[in-house]
Amino acid sequence: MTLSPTAEAPTPPSAAEDGVWLSCIDCEASFAPFDAVRYTCDDCGGLLEVRYASPASLSDFEGSGVWRYADALPLDGGVSIQEGATPLYRVPDLADDVGVETLRIKHEGMNPTGSFKDRGMTVGVAVARELGVDRLACASTGNTSAALAAYGSRAGMETLVLLPAGKVAAGKVAQASLHGARILEVDGNFDACLDLVQALADRGEAYLLNSLNPFRLEGQKTIGLEILERFRADHGTFPNRIVLPVGNAGNTAALYKAFRELVAAGDLAVDEVPKLTGVQAEGAAPMVEAIENGADEIRRWDDVETRATAIRIGNPVNAPKALPGIRETGGTAVAVSDVEITDAQRDLAEAGIGVEPASAASFAGLRKLRDDGVVGEDEQIVCLTTGHLLKDPDAAAAAGTDPEPVPSDLEGVLDHLAEQP
């Protein structure tokens, strides 16, 4: 197995500031991290990633939450609402049911605004402050907008969020609204919103905080660092596979980067790198298509549909970072139906873990891959659940039991229970 771009610690270019710089993943051009607003490569338009002169080691980290990993981040501290340090639940019954040796659920819904996006925002909004911008913006299927609104507001900045009209779960719109974002409801899907917000950012109207922004992915790397640390402490080894839902493929890219940096630090052997296994909804699966066809680029899907609205995305912008991550770790990608997603949401709920539909896709995908024999019975697996049940109350209520009307007296309640045990 080889990991690319190179897992070796690079030599800092002259653009580096305190051993940190931005590098283009396509042409390797390097840029100073905080001298100008920049989302993609000035020379070729490729995606940028943050590079460090000295890769941080697991033994360097102190404290709790995202900022425990400050040595692996571009700044020492951020705009924080105590994000990270989420639970890695044991689910022995689900492990038996699926038929794998070990299964743990990393529940990112336990972050302050109820999704993993908080990890990216604590870093991204701090960088925005460093750059001196005053208006922040994102396109969103909901969770990014909730996190941006909360972190932007805490930092005293104006926030603008572009949402696909009618396709964002109620909890997320409520969060963006109460935290004071200006909400633009776009007559188009998420990909159209992202095109629009990129055009606004290119004109200097606002600072873009979608996962195209390389600093956000640095914060999201900490999901991988927490998983590896906790899993090894509990099981004496690293998980051999991490299964996660894929939308824009930011987390896939971020986890792969975390692993590459640990390999460079000498903490993780190349053959210990967990197999990154991405799951998409059948109605929005361009990454799965690219993996299945062995393609280097994804084909943009113009028409996307799924009940898992958070991952209703047809043009994953981080595909150039994430496709190598899936391939080079020996992972795979799989598509699941909306019915399979809802079943998985119920299975997790039975274990006491309340997640939104997109999050349940990871467990649905694991079950499918195990049934197909792609995942073996001896595997040690972590499924990532990315958002909390309350994000999408309508989906939860539709998947769960219905309320039963009863009279307001004891006899009536007892009669009802006797009639319908």
| Interface with ligand F0G, residue 246, by CB under 6 A | yes
Minimum separation from the CB atom of position 219 to ligand F0G (A): 12
Q: What residues does 88 pair with on adjacent strands?
A: 106
Contact region with ligand F0G (CB under 6 A), list: 196-204, 335-343, 355-363, 406-414: 355-363
| Interface with ligand F0G, residue 311, by CB under 6 A | yes
* Exposure string for 68-96, b = 16+ CB within 10 A, e = fewer: bbbebbbbeebbbbebbebebbebeebbe
| Interface with ligand F0G, residue 356, by CB under 6 A | yes
Nearer to ligand F0G by Cβ, of 111 and 380: the residue is 111
Contact region with ligand F0G (CB under 6 A), list: 149-157, 242-250, 368-376, 413-421: 242-250
Residue numbers 80-119 binding ligand F0G by CB under 6 A: 115, 117
Q: Is the separation of the CB atoms in 131 and 207 below 8 Å?
A: yes
CA dihedral of 241, 242, 247, 251, whole degrees rounded to 10: -120
Residue numbers 358-417 binding ligand F0G by CB under 6 A: 358-359, 386-387
CB atoms closer than 10 angstroms to residue 271: 8
Q: What residues does 281 pair with on adjacent strands?
A: 336
* Exposure string for 212-223, b = 16+ CB within 10 A, e = fewer: bbbbbbbbbbbb
| Interface with ligand F0G, residue 143, by CB under 6 A | yes
Q: Is the separation of the CB atoms in 325 and 290 below 8 Å?
A: no
Nearer to ligand F0G by Cβ, of 242 and 358: the residue is 358
Query: What is the distance between the alpha carbons of residues 125 and 127, in angstroms, rounded to a whole number?
Result: 5
Nearer to ligand F0G by Cβ, of 249 and 258: the residue is 249
Residue numbers 12-71 binding ligand F0G by CB under 6 A: none
Query: What is the distance between the alpha carbons of residues 138 and 212, in angstroms, rounded to a whole number?
Result: 10
Contact region with ligand F0G (CB under 6 A), list: 223-231, 244-252, 344-352, 395-403: 244-252
- Positions in the binding site for ligand F0G (CB under 6 A): 115, 117, 140-144, 211, 245-251, 310-311, 356, 358-359, 386-387
